[in-house]
Amino acid sequence: MYKIERIKNGVCAPKGFRAAGAHCGFRRNIKKNDLSLIVSDEMCSAAAVFTQNKLKGAPVIVNREHLRDGRARAIICNSGNANTCAPGGLEIAYETCRLTAAELGMDEKDVIVCSTGVIGSPIYIDTFEKGIPRVVKKLSNRGSKAAARGIMTTDKSVKEIAVSFTLGGKTCRMGAIAKGSGMINPNMATMLCFITTDAAIESEALQAALSADIKDSFNQISIDGDTSTNDTVAVLANGLAGNEPVTGPGKDYDAFCAALHAVTTYLCHHIVKDGEGASKVLKCTVSGAPSKEVARGVSLTVIQSDLVKTAVFGEDANWGRVLVAVGYSDQEFKVDNIDISLAAGKRSVPVCEHSVACLFDEDLAKDILSQEEVYILIDLNQGNERAIAYGCDMTPDYVRVNARYRT
């Protein structure tokens, strides 16, 4: 319906954005990028969604304050330490914004600050003092990958995307980087994701678009059921594409939302694919639901079940566990006429009809479950709403990765 095309350069694809990443010493044992910066040449409309965990990382508290005016120009983010429950953490988050703003010659209130990594470890301002000038010096319009690497923790793959789309006849661009892997469970916003665009859009419309989008993107993914204290998805829109500014509902707003959804669902896929220890992507679609909420809630409950996840890892068509998870989801609906199929690529196999076991080809089911991307298709047969949730299997490596995360 909308023409959305993949382009290169991630968060630097939109006009007027530069980025960088550098190793600055937040992570002592590994020499990987651990400080990232994204900067717009011009002031941006800004919108963000944050964790719903009652306990919030210090940066989340600062960002709520800095984004009150719907404007921002830079995002600074370290990895290796979440700055959550760290002594003096709030002051350090403010100071990080001040140092970044001073180095870039902008107002400290236009800086968004994020942190990810170990929770409750001391964090020191010196590391930022030394690191910020270093990362500012590296800023370039080819710096998206370096920035994407700088926010990674246990991630194995860089998560980056950019697309072009059209608003009012003008070509616009949107780019994004994200961090995934562990402590990934939807609750409002999940994980870190930074999105840039040169589309002109007012901050209220931008916030509305983002808040609506995450309900079917980041809020529908789960790797381990643990909701982080630092989850942040932030969008900067600098308007350099020169389109007539999007101010609210209408054709351009819909086109913007379509581009945003293409970007966020791409990242959802790649976040779960790179889930800690994951060997497969697991997607669950729920159709025939009486409401969107039921479809979202049920699909999410299924991909969160440790028992479903381990069965998928074992390539065992133990679909009873799927139905059990459907049953304990906290949504209200009827469970007496549910159909379940397993699918991969173009092949599928029904395993349950009208909530009763049906005879099925175990070899075909096993073969489907051995693919890299497995679908669980659930039809509740009581309405027309549908939703999809994104997860991964659970493997012995998940336990290994998390048994010694701090070392």
Stretch that binds a second copy, among 62-70, 126-134, 143-151, 348-356 (CB under 8 A): 348-356
**Gyration radius (Cα) of the chain, Å:** 21
Q: Does 93 bind a second copy (CB under 8 A)?
A: no
Pairing state between β 347-353 and 339-344: antiparallel
The answer to the question of residue 320 lying near a second copy (CB under 8 A) is yes
Cα-based angle 117, 123, 125 (whole degrees, multiple of 5)? 125
The one among 141, 211, 291, 318 contacting a second copy by CB under 8 A? 318
Closest CA to 213 of 263, 162, 145: 263
- Catalytic residue at 190? yes
Confirm if 332 and 351 have CB atoms less than 8 A apart.
no
Count of positions (residues) in the chain: 407
Q: Of the candidates 183, 221, 257, 263, which one interacts with a second copy according to CB under 8 A?
A: 183
Q: Which is nearer to a second copy, 229 or 287 (CB)?
A: 229
Question: For a second copy, which stretch binds (CB under 8 A), given 31-39, 68-76, 177-185, 281-289?
Answer: 177-185
Which x/- pattern over 224-253 shows residues binding a second copy (rule: CB under 8 A)?
A: xxxxxx------------------------
Pick 169 or 407: Cβ nearer a second copy: 407
Opening angle at CA 245, ends 240 and 247, nearest 5: 145
* Dist CA 279 CA 258 (whole Å): 30
Q: How far is the CB of 119 from a second copy (least distance, A)?
A: 3
Question: Is there binding between residue 38 and a second copy (CB under 8 A)?
Answer: no
**Interaction of residue 403 with a second copy, rule CB under 8 A:** yes
Work out whether 154 is an interface residue with a second copy (CB under 8 A).
no
- For the bound state, the minimum distance from the C-beta of residue 365 to a second copy, rounded and expressed in Å, comes to 11
User: Whole-number minimum distance, CB 362 to a second copy, in Å?
Assistant: 10
CA neighbor of 378 nearest in space, from 321, 327, 329, 340: 340
Q: What is the DSSP string of 194-258?
A: EEEE-S-B-HHHHHHHHHHHHTTTGGGB-SSSPPPSS-EEEEEE--TT-PPPB-SSSHHHHHHHH
CA distance 85 to 70: 27
Task: State the Cα angle at 153 between 152 and 154, rounded to 5°.
Answer: 115
Residue 314 makes contact with a second copy by CB under 8 A:
yes
Q: Does the protein bind a second copy through residue 54 (CB under 8 A)?
A: yes
Nearer to a second copy, 207 or 301 (CB): 301
DSSP state of 232: E
2 binds a second copy (CB under 8 A): no
Contacts by residues 353-356 (CB-CB < 8 Å, ≥ 24 positions apart): 355/323
- Show the tokens assigned to 108: 């400290």
Q: How many residues bind a second copy (CB under 8 A)?
A: 65
Contact track, a second copy, 61-80, x by CB under 8 A: --------------------
Under the binding rule (CB under 8 A), the answer on residue 316 touching a second copy is yes
Whichever of 320 and 383 has its CB closer to a second copy, that residue is 320
Does position 127 interact with a second copy (CB under 8 A)? The reply is no
* Residue 367 CA from chain centroid, whole number: 30
Q: Closest Cα partner for 137 from 17, 27, 18?
A: 18
Give CA–CA dist 72/361, Å, rounded: 56
The catalytic residue positions are 190
Residues lying near a second copy in the complex (CB under 8 A) are found at 52-56, 82, 84-87, 118-122, 182-183, 185, 187, 224-229, 304-307, 310-311, 313-316, 318-321, 323-329, 333, 335, 351-352, 355-357, 394-396, 398-400, 402-407
